[in-house]
Amino acid sequence: SVPPSPPSPAAELLIYHPLSEEQGAHVRLYLRNVWQCLSTPSPLLLSLAAGIMGGTLGAWTGLLATILAPMNYTEKQAGWVGFGNYLATMAGSSLMGVIADRRRFQHKLKFLILFSLICCFLCIAWFQLGVRTLFYEEPVLKLSIPTIALSISLTGLFFGAASPLMYECLAEIMYPLPESLSASILVQWSNTTALILISIAPRRYKLMNLLVLIMAGMAIVMVCFVKVTYKRKDEDERKILDQKQLGVDSRTGSL
């Protein structure tokens, strides 16, 4: 059944102009769209940045108990630190959603993403100074468990803020392709990254500490080269203006 009104311009195209009927078999069309996404520099860079960042942080936070054990922190304490990270991630997504929906920031997704990723990188670096790494056996800073929890929570907060923005930005760049396509590609990058890291570094926590910092830096660099377009938002705004103009014309005609 067709909803009263499409939720987005891309959904409208799918509802009223079924691509599978126009362009052949669904599988071939899906593969063609995936290739279009992966062969275009900006979507490729943005999906890679979001995917490797999400996958690396997911694998890294899963090793918190191993990372904190040499500093004589218990597994229970590490569990609470990880729990705080997940809560902060959800809070960051909600808060950034409110900010990004403001008209002032609706066409500044790249700025918000870069700001969030840079803050996330700094929080990861702060945490690194309080644990053992490949470069030093003893921590540079003597961080207490509340301070470590704060650094990890802030990492989650800022990544949580960046994550939905990257989904939204990718959907904008790939319009009129479906939002589900760009989201599925991003998720596959994330899952692949997490699987690889968990496989090669299950107990090499020092290596994982280095990798998460490198991946965060790479994500920032890749986003810097992304060219953001707002074709979907512009189409939404155009339709809203057309509807308002139609309402004005109908009232004028009735008078």
| pLDDT tens digits for range 32-86 | 777 877 788 888 899 999 999 999 998 888 888 888 888 888 888 889 998 999 9
CA-CA-CA-CA torsion sign (219, 32, 235, 251): negative
pLDDT for res 140: 83
Q: SS3 string of 116-152?
A: HHHHHHHHHHHHHCCCCCCCCCCCCCCCCHHHHHHHH
| pLDDT tens digits for range 191-222 | 999 888 888 776 788 888 888 999 999 999 99
| pLDDT tens digits for range 14-38 | 555 555 444 456 677 777 777 877 7
CB 209 within 8 A of CB 155: no
Looking at the predicted structure, is the pLDDT value of residue 183 above 80?
Answer: yes
The mean predicted confidence, pLDDT, of the chain is 82
pLDDT for res 220: 95
Q: Which domains does the chain have, with CATH numbers?
A: 9-245 (1.20.1250.20)
What is the DSSP annotation of 192-206? HHHHHHHHH-SS-HH
